[in-house]
Amino acid sequence: MAFSIKKLSKSDTDFTTELEKMLAWESVSDGNMQKLVADVIADIRLNGDKALLKYSEKFDRFSVSSGNELVLGAEAIKAAFNRLPEEQQAALRVSAQRVTAYHEKQLAKSWRYTDETGVVLGQQVTAMDKVGIYVPGGVAPLASSVIMNAMPAKVAGVQEVVMATPAPDGKVSDFTLGAAYVVGIDKVFLIGGAQAIAALAFGTETVPAVDKIVGPGNAFVATAKQQVFGKVGIDMIAGPSEILVVCDGQTHPDWIAMDLFSQAEHSHDAQSILISQDAQFLDQVLASIEKLLPTMERKETIEQSLNDRGLLIHVDQLEEAKELINIIAPEHLELSIEDPESWLQDIRHAGAIFMGRHTSEPLGDYCAGPNHVLPTSGTARFFSPLGVYDFQKRSSIIGASALAASELGKVVSVLARGEELTAHARSAEMRIIKP
């Protein structure tokens, strides 16, 4: 077969260079696309629904005559759920319940204290008012994506969570709508692409302007999100999906092969990496890959992904994997080892950590509870999983007594005058109590 996967050994002299080369990934910022997207956004801002209808016809071959026809209300969404097979209904409910339970632990609360100078200090934590979830159409229904993007907003207490998803040829998946039902979305707009992002950011006659837009999408959607950032909040910029599996050689090689496949099947530029101290085990996994690959529905995608970006890394001691984990800062980290607990304190950068041989990455994608929207391409160095904290925001609280304002005013006076901001200084000085 044409298939081959790159092997590296940490003891190779050119190991670091080779690893960096394999990890490198940059989104291409194409000037043409930027311009195209900017034009679509300007059009939506100017022409609202009229422009939306035009783009739906052009890009989705979905022709309607008024904005109303782009909206699915609570009844239509419920009806879609009711059309699903019972086992899908049940699975969606389990997922929604577990994701809710986990995310409730993330809720931040307002806090307050009075310090020794008599100043009341704190933070008031509130939910955003309106959030829009974008769900791509096309390839496959993304029910889990609806749950993972919408549920943190619902748990945060966002009053209005709406969804936008394109309806190519007027069709939208019952599975996707069914997920919208279980998370409690009561309005779905059948719009997609840059025009959907523009509509959610600026509003049209039919679509409400929201405060934050989250969810995956193609390059047009991603570019549009970047362009409206600042007018609204957005989630992080996602690259291709990746997994790093660390295995001591004691897990069944078929399990590990399939775990690597589960990322590789996402896209041709997805990345699957396996580290082991057991060279023979690496060969066994390779054999499992070769055995299982022909049986996979998405074998072309898996093969290209493993060919182009897959890696089997041999280390002398398994402990050396810790350093590599922190360099790679993987989106998904599977610790398929005997005592994963003891490793945690040394892991500084990872999106999600799957502990032990039984915890396969797909558990996290669908129903363990944590979010499957995770930082990719090494951005776990500074980004976090999507969470309730992405839909809450904070207001600082400061309340000074007359005496405290007088005392602090003296400090402000020195600092503000040092910065040559004398209105600041005088505003504080006016509150200094004259002796």
Compare residues 279 and 397 and give the one whose CB is closer to its own copies: 397
The span from the CA of 279 to the CA of 14, in Å, is 19
The span from the CA of 234 to the CA of 216, in Å, is 11
Closest CA relative to residue 7, chosen from 261, 268, 314: 314
- The reply, when asked if residue 195 is annotated as ligand binding, is yes
As measured in angstroms, the least distance from the Cβ of 301 to its own copies is: 9
Compare residues 249 and 330 and give the one whose CB is closer to its own copies: 330
378 in Cβ contact with 332 (< 8 Å): no
Reduced to 3 states, what is the DSSP secondary structure of residue 119? Answer: strand
As measured in angstroms, the least distance from the Cβ of 245 to its own copies is: 11
- The reply, when asked if residue 314 is annotated as ligand binding, is no
Compare residues 58 and 83 and give the one whose CB is closer to its own copies: 83
What are the angstrom distances between the C-alpha of 33 and each of 49, 89, 216, 224, 228?
Answer: 23, 39, 18, 10, 15
Of the candidates 103, 314, 332, 372, the residue annotated as catalytic is 332
- The reply, when asked if residue 358 is annotated as ligand binding, is no
DSSP letters of 142-161? Answer: -HHHHHHHHHHHHHHT-SEE
- The reply, when asked if residue 361 is annotated as ligand binding, is no
Of the candidates 303, 331, 334, 361, the residue annotated as catalytic is 331
Reduced to 3 states, what is the DSSP secondary structure of residue 401? Answer: coil
The span from the CA of 128 to the CA of 255, in Å, is 42
Reduced to 3 states, what is the DSSP secondary structure of residue 44? Answer: helix
Q: Report the 10 Å Cβ neighbour count for 179.
A: 32
For residue 30, give every residue at least 6 positions away whose Cβ sits within 8 Å of its Cβ, in sequence order, or none: 219
As measured in angstroms, the least distance from the Cβ of 316 to its own copies is: 25
What are the b/e assignments for 135-174, b being 16+ CB within 10 Å?
Answer: bbbeeebbbbbbbbbbbbbbbbebebbbbbbbbeeeebbb
The span from the CA of 92 to the CA of 184, in Å, is 12
Q: How many residues does the chain have?
A: 435
- The reply, when asked if residue 252 is annotated as ligand binding, is no
432 in Cβ contact with 412 (< 8 Å): no
Compare residues 63 and 403 and give the one whose CB is closer to its own copies: 403
As measured in angstroms, the least distance from the Cβ of 319 to its own copies is: 19
The span from the CA of 32 to the CA of 39, in Å, is 11
The span from the CA of 112 to the CA of 396, in Å, is 10
67 in Cβ contact with 205 (< 8 Å): yes
331 is catalytic: yes
As measured in angstroms, the least distance from the Cβ of 23 to its own copies is: 13
Strands 271-276 and 212-214, how do they pair? Answer: unpaired
As measured in angstroms, the least distance from the Cβ of 347 to its own copies is: 7
Secondary structure E strands in 26-173? 71-73, 111-114, 119-127, 130-134, 160-164
- The reply, when asked if residue 39 is annotated as ligand binding, is no
332 is catalytic: yes
As measured in angstroms, the least distance from the Cβ of 278 to its own copies is: 20
**Token digits for 412?**
């402000």
Compare residues 314 and 349 and give the one whose CB is closer to its own copies: 349
Compare residues 316 and 346 and give the one whose CB is closer to its own copies: 346
Compare residues 11 and 111 and give the one whose CB is closer to its own copies: 111
- The reply, when asked if residue 104 is annotated as ligand binding, is no
- The reply, when asked if residue 349 is annotated as ligand binding, is no
- The reply, when asked if residue 419 is annotated as ligand binding, is yes
The residues that are catalytic are 331-332
Binding residues for substrate: 241, 263, 266, 332, 365, 419, 424
Binding residues for Zn(2+): 263, 266, 365, 424
